[in-house]
A and B are shown apart, each in its own frame.
Chain A
Amino acid sequence: MSGVHDSLRLPLRLIALVLATVVIQEAAVSQISIFGTSADLTPLVVMSVGLLAGSIPGAIVGFGTGLLVDMLLVQTLGVTSLLYIVIGYWSGRLRELRDPSHGLVPVAMGAGATAFAGLGMAVIQFLLGVDAPVSLLLLQQIFIAVLVNTLISLPVYAAVRRIIEPALPQDPRRRRRRAYTTGGLSPLERPSGRLGATPRSSAR
């Protein structure tokens, strides 16, 4: 019973996170204009979930967030989902392949995710038939959005980590690395228990 409860903790937290993010984004954040554009929390949250939980949760959260955004804004369904799946999946893959520990990784990933979302949306819209040239202003708006999102990516990442980390399964690699950095368990510094105690006679 407890196992079933534990296995539902992460999905439930992710669902609540996605719903809250999209509602806050549409009801408040999108209405705050900064140099003619506004911050977009959704790619940052998807990126953060990918970095913290892995590629599959990242991709699923990306799909769900994109679908909800498309639904609530009465847009063409599937466009935002497609872009956010890629963001969530590749953020998760980065964690699985490289396990980056630098504190500024979310900043770089946030900038990359926002740029990908902006440029990807432009490409898909052109493919869907919006017959207009790419103007300098469009690129300028995407650039400003990337800058704004880069600035807020660390707090967003910290908030997402605070929400979902208690529900994440323990990662053995991270546990081992934490142990090494605290110094206590390195095999080079502590004699192996497997070999037993060194006899006094041989020490002489």
Chain B
Amino acid sequence: MHSKQVRRRRAVVAALVAISLVLLTAYFGESANSPLHTVQRGIVEVFSPVEEGASKALAPVRDIAGFFSDTFKAKSEVGQLRKQLEYYRAQAAQYRAAWILNQQLSREVSLQNTGLASYRPVAANVIVRDPNLWYETIMIDKGSDDGVRTGDPVTGDGALVGNVTTVGSTYSVVTLITDHTMAVAAEVQDSAGDTGVLVPAVGEPNQLVLQWLPTSANVQQGQPVVTVGFKSGSHEDLYPPGIPIGTVGTVGTDLANNGEVPVTPAADLRQLDVVQVLTAPHAGTARAQLP
């Protein structure tokens, strides 16, 4: 009797482990349109209204907890933000002059500075957030019914936060810029406008790394980093130009040795509640047509 129980217990555990390994292997090697992915999307489709309802119902609990969390966080950020404020005040005066000059030049080449409005932004609520450090994704309550498509850029908290990687009719999954699969062409707003490729420092959820900069670049801590929005032949960047991404962190020897600088995202990616999906990401790329 006892040995029968032991055999049964071992058989159940072995079967469960085997099923998990088969699922893992099959899923890992399959394309996005495979049966397992389709089943997964179907289940997400079924659960998304439930999660949306639960998210709204539990909003007061979240807000109360968020209040205490934000209070502690705010205290530690006061000093840092005061320094940043001083820096940005000085920068703002310079940018104002540059903006006026830019407007004049833009008119000369008959370009219109359209801003984000021309990219048909769709506002969406974050309904699911991934708690672990390995899959930096969020789920939002807008999908193909609202014009969202795979690859659309997503902004939030005044900066680029990622792009849409999975779309259902009423939901979408957004992969954040800190996910290990992401890379964004980015430009440092220094005197030379040095460009590079922004990738996440995987395992460090609040940090990005701007690679492939010229090793002689004069990049300073605190300089803003924005999207490039390049167009080369038929290839076009996913992201419109000029969307803020973050600021340059402490510049060390990695710049001179490898052309790399750390970048801190401008958006607090762990605290996103509302985002905007740019459903017409290539609407304002007139700049890319310049010779």
Contact = CB atoms under 8 A, between A and B. Distances in A.
Interface residues of B, number: 57
Contacts of A31: 55, 62, 66, 126, 129, 273
Given A60-B12, A85-B16, A121-B132, A36 B270 contact: yes
Given A77-B36, A82-B17, A128-B28, A71 B44 contact: yes
B133 A141 contact: yes
A137 B54 contact: no
Nearest to B28: A76
Contact of A73 (B26, B137, B205): B137
A32 B66 contact: yes
Contacts of B69: 32-34
A78 B21 CA distance: 6
Contacts of A125: 134
Contacts of A122: 134
Contact of B131 (A38, A85, A133, A138): A38
A32 B65 CA distance: 6
Contacts of B204: 135, 137-138
Could you tell me the dominant secondary structure of chain B's interface residues? helix
A25 B131 contact: yes
Contacts of A28: 54-55, 58, 61-62
Contacts of A74: 40-41, 44, 137, 139, 166, 173
Interface of A: 23-34, 36-38, 40, 55-56, 59-60, 62-63, 66-67, 70-79, 81-82, 85, 89, 118, 121-122, 125, 128, 130, 132-135, 137-138, 141
Interface of B: 8-9, 12-13, 16-17, 19-28, 36, 40-41, 43-44, 47, 50-51, 54-55, 58, 61-62, 65-66, 69, 126-135, 137, 139, 166, 173, 180, 201-207, 270-271, 273
